[in-house]
Structure 1
Amino acid sequence: MRTAYTALIIPSQLAEPIRIESVEPGLQPLQSLVGGDIEDVTRGDWRVFLNAEGVIVNLPPNLRAAQLMDDCGLDLAGVARGTAVFLGRGDLGEEADVPEPLIRRAEEMFDTRLVA
């Protein structure tokens, strides 16, 4: 069992930087990052974790995460609220490191250099 995965974390607040961070596997670390219960959406070799009640509790929209997801063919503008945590998806659906192409795309879109 892995002890940590590389995640792409996109806060909803534009003043907070997008970052690459090592995240421990399991429900509790993800809940801590998104600030509550999680829901996830899978797209190809990656998945994004969001606060499951983001719309209900009126968390701020995450415009950068919505833009990245839209660029990758996933329109979740209305539900991308609060912090978004992107991880990879392994062969059996388990968590994995966020795919490098997704990191590179985020760097290009947001004109930033992300390092682990």
Structure 2
Amino acid sequence: MNQLLNALVIPARLNHPVHIRPLQLDAASRQRVAAGEVAVLAGKDWRAYLSNESGRTFHNVRAEVLLREAGVDVESTIHGTVTFLGQAEPWEETDAPRHLIRLAEQLFDMPLAA
């Protein structure tokens, strides 16, 4: 499946801004964004794709905060860039949900949507 979706991207490095970006949805693009092996955390209507390789990547404090505020009990440290997409049906992805984008805007005090 190759389709273009708007993803909410939370980089681990604090000097890189949280942003919305079009993402060509395929396995290779998920791995490029997450910088390696991909793990998935899921909420009610979204999924977060993240790196499964903690040794090579930076701790992502912003993603941890967003995940906790979105209701996910984060049990381990989150590393690397985290990419959020929406979920319509089981394993059918959509654009990142507006409520998650608004939450990120509030938490990080930055406008993301045009």
| Residues 18 and 77 (structure 1), Cα distance of their counterparts in 2 relative to 1, 3 Å cut | farther
CA contact (8 A) 1:62 1:82 kept: yes
TM-score, normalising length: structure 1: 0.90
- 2:109 — aligned with what? 111
- 1:42 — aligned with what? 42
TM-score, normalising length: structure 2: 0.92
- 1:23 — aligned with what? 23
Query: What do the CA deviations read for 1:40-70 (whole angstroms, capped 9, x no partner)?
Result: 111100010011122xx25221000000000
Which consecutive unaligned segments of at least 5 residues does structure 2 have?
none
The number of residue pairs the alignment matches comes to 114
Tell me the secondary structure at the aligned position of residue 67 of structure 1. helix
Tell me the secondary structure at the aligned position of residue 65 of structure 2. helix
- 1:6 — aligned with what? 6
Query: What do the CA deviations read for 1:21-44 (whole angstroms, capped 9, x no partner)?
Result: 000111111100111010111110
Counterpart-to-counterpart distance in 2, 1:84 and 1:97: 15
Tell me the secondary structure at the aligned position of residue 91 of structure 2. coil
Which consecutive unaligned segments of at least 5 residues does structure 1 have?
none
- 1:52 — aligned with what? 52
> Percent identity among equivalent residues?
34
Deviation for aligned residue 1:95: 1.4
Tell me the secondary structure at the aligned position of residue 98 of structure 1. coil
CA contact (8 A) 1:49 1:86 kept: yes
CA contact (8 A) 2:60 2:80 kept: yes
- 1:84 — aligned with what? 82
